[in-house]
Amino acid sequence: MTTGTADIGLIGLGTMGAALSANIAEKGFRIAVWNRSPEVTRDFVANAGPLAGRIVPTETLAGLVAAIKPPRAVILLVPAGPIVDQQIALLRPLMAADDLIIDAGNADFHDTDRRTVEAAAQGPHFMGIGVSGGEEGARHGPSIMAGGTDGDWARVAPVLTAVAARYDGTPCAVHMGPGGAGHFVKAVHNGIEYADMQMIAEIYGVLRDGMGQGAAQIAPLFRHWNEGALHSYLIEITAEVAATIDPETGLPLLDVIRDTAGQKGTGRWTAIEAQHLGVAVPAIEAAVAARNLSAALADRQAGEALYGPAPQLLGAGAPTPDVLEQALIAGKILCYAQGFDMLARARQQFSWPLPLPDIARVWRAGCIIRSAMLNDMATALAEDPARNLMLAPHFADHLMRAVPCLRQVVALAALNGLPVPALSAGLAWFDQMRTARSTANMIQGQRDFFGAHGFERVDGTTGQHGPWVRD
Ligand code: NDP
């Protein structure tokens, strides 16, 4: 094989690949690039300005491989699924056994585990890394959640830490463990993102439908909240989204956007995997369900025609902005607490290192769920990684104040028919988590009654059956 000059290669100059390639070149690395449609590669280099000198355009996969210094590393940024397998199959015969393929797309971690096993048998090496932050993050500093062997991580860490976002100078790039660990953490990140976005949308719904507020009134409220405990990327962009005017109609842009939301599957994967792991993440599940229900537009329209719209929460019945802010603070803490609970369970189940405080740290900058709270979460998890975040004193203080407001908002919404599924699910989870004696004794009684499943007595005696009264 010819010896190339590039430090790394990249396949797929779409939204993410083009932005990440420019970021890598900007940090001083030489990068060889290849795209299925060659005109995209030509345009990319033509528009790269001063970075073009560090970008090696190639028009064949063999040319790409030849352009990289051995041992070679090639990043894939193509759509997740079978296309990744096709690219690996095309690259495999062109690469040496100690070369490395890095899937930086949003892969299902089960696929990453499978590809890792296949790579061990057939070569070259393989890593799956989760990259968050969208196009802007990829261009100027994403949050990177890496999976793979220690040795492969050590090989690419210089490039990946150089391009990652920084929080107080610390790069937001962490090695999470072998195989699919990086993509698993990225999926949980996206699950939290779904829940956080849904809770924000629900508060927007209370303001819009319950209190008759327009986007122009809602935008400054979110802008104000972004200066407090809620300070986060998602609250910041919510204010901007609400403030934007549609140039065609002069109306708030929000008011002309159809209310059906898409998903690429990562939130759904998180909800499904939580069920496999036997861990409760109801706020994330509610957010996934809400996206599914958003697509049922005709049914929702028929439902409103039949049952009528929710009435407005008038006068003293309406929550104050402070109550709404506190409700959102509580909801946000609870959805992160559920996400970290899921990570803690996966850590045990899969025997992955999953460094929980570092995961909170890696999400402090660059990614979509970056928020001021994550710094305190990192501290709480460093104190005791096994303790649920809602039990950490710092967050317990917040929740003591904020949960009564969440309760007020959920109760008002329920009484008036305003949908707040993720906030309700967060609250129901909190209430279950603070109930020392649950009602599962009744479930166990029922199970033993109809199926002789047995139960454990409170004194610890197991394998018990009831002398059930059968009329
Ligand atoms: P785009 O649709 O913008 O780009 C897709 C790229 O893949 C293009 O370069 C395209 O080439 C190439 N491609 C598509 N089909 C094939 C194929 N059959 N064979 C070879 N190349 C192909 O996608 P994104 O950049 O948005 O996403 C890439 C990955 O990153 C996905 O896994 C996505 O989920 C993930 N991701 C995306 C984020 C985002 O905000 N967009 C955020 C984080 C992760 P061509 O030009 O020829 O069509």
Tens of pLDDT, residue by residue over 269-310, are 999 999 999 999 999 999 999 999 999 999 999 999 999 999
Ligand 1 in contact with 37 (CB < 6 A)? yes
**Cβ of 36 less than 6 Å from ligand 1:** yes
Nearest protein CA to atom 4 of ligand 1, as residue: 14
pLDDT-derived band at 470, boundaries 50, 70, 90: confident
Check pocket membership of 264 for ligand 1, CB cut-off 6 A.
Answer: yes
Options 26, 69, 118, 186, the catalytic residue: 186
Instruction: Spot the catalytic one: 193, 202, 285, 325.
Output: 193
Residue 448, amino acid: D
User: What is the Cα–Cα distance from 212 to 431, expressed in whole angstroms?
Assistant: 30
For the CA of 12, the closest atom of ligand 1 is 9
The pick from 34, 59, 78, 189 for probing ligand 1's pocket by mutation, whose C-beta has the most ligand atoms within 8 angstroms, reads: 78
d(CA 471, CA 375) in angstroms, rounded, equals 59
Question: What whole-number distance in Å separates Cα of residue 462 and Cα of residue 471?
Answer: 27
Q: Which of 33, 34, 36 to mutate to test the pocket of ligand 1 (most atoms within 8 A of CB)?
A: 36
DSSP state string for 132-177: ESHHHHHHH--EEEEES-HHHHHHHHHHHHHHS-EETTEESEEEEE
The verdict on whether 69 is a catalytic residue reads: no
Closest CA to 94 of 67, 117, 121: 67
Does the bond joining 71 to the residue before it have cis omega, within 30 degrees of 0?
yes
- Ligand 1, atom 23: nearest CA belongs to which residue? 14
- CA 44–ligand 1 middle distance (angstroms): 15
425-452 residue pLDDT tens = 999 999 999 999 999 999 999 999 999 9
28: left (phi over 0), alpha (psi -120 to 50) or beta: left
Cβ-count burial of 105 within 10 angstroms (0-12 exposed, 13-18 middle, 19+ buried)?
A: buried
**Residue 312 pLDDT more than 80?**
yes
pLDDT of residue 105: 97
* Span from the CA of 430 to the centroid of ligand 1 (angstroms): 39
Domains, the chain, ordered by start: 8-179 (3.40.50.720), 187-433 (1.10.1040.10)
Q: Using the 8-state DSSP alphabet, how is residue 207 labeled?
A: I
Q: How far is the CA of 269 from the centre of ligand 1 (A)?
A: 19
Q: CB of 130 closer than 6 A to ligand 1?
A: no
Cα radius of gyration (the chain): 25
Checking if the pLDDT of 348 tops 60, the result is yes
Contact 185, 176 (CB under 8 A): yes
Work out the angle at residue 329's Cα, subtended by the Cα atoms of residues 328 and 334, and round it to the nearest 5 degrees: 95
Going across the sheet that includes 125-132, the strands are: 55-57, 31-34, 8-11, 73-76, 100-103, 125-132, 143-147, 173-177
Report the chain's mean pLDDT, rounded to a whole number.
96
**Which is more confidently placed, 317 or 418?**
418
Percentage of the chain modeled with pLDDT above 70:
100
What whole-number distance in Å separates Cα of residue 261 and Cα of residue 439?
36
Q: For ligand 1, is residue 245 a contact (CB within 6 Å)? A: no
**What value does the mean pLDDT take over residues 62-73?**
97
Provide the pLDDT confidence category of residue 314 given band limits of 50, 70 and 90. confident
CA 69 to ligand 1 centroid distance, Å: 25
Identify the band that residue 1 occupies on the pLDDT scale cut at 50, 70 and 90.
very low
Residues 382-391 have pLDDT tens digits of 999 999 999 9
The three-point CA angle 455-457-461 to 5° equals 95
Cβ atoms of 115 and 84 closer than 8 Å: yes
Identify the band that residue 99 occupies on the pLDDT scale cut at 50, 70 and 90: very high
For 107-139, how does the pLDDT look when each residue is reduced to its tens digit (9 = 90+)? 999 999 999 999 999 999 999 999 999 999 999
Helix (H) or strand (E) holding 415: helix 393-416
Roughly what angle, to the nearest 10 degrees, separates helices 421-433 and 393-416?
Answer: 130
Does residue 193 carry a catalytic annotation? yes
- The whole-angstrom separation of Cα 219 and Cα 240 is 7
What does the pLDDT average to over 336-364?
97
Please state, in angstroms and rounded to a whole number, the distance separating the CA atoms of residues 300 and 296: 6
Q: Is 3 in the pocket of ligand 1 (CB under 6 A)?
A: no
The predicted structure's pLDDT at residue 176? 98
The ligand 1 atom at the shortest distance from the C-alpha of residue 37 is: 47
For residues 45 and 70, the answer to whether their CB atoms sit within 8 Å is no
β-strands 55-57, 143-147 pairing:
unpaired
Give yes or no for residue 79 CB within 6 A of ligand 1.
yes
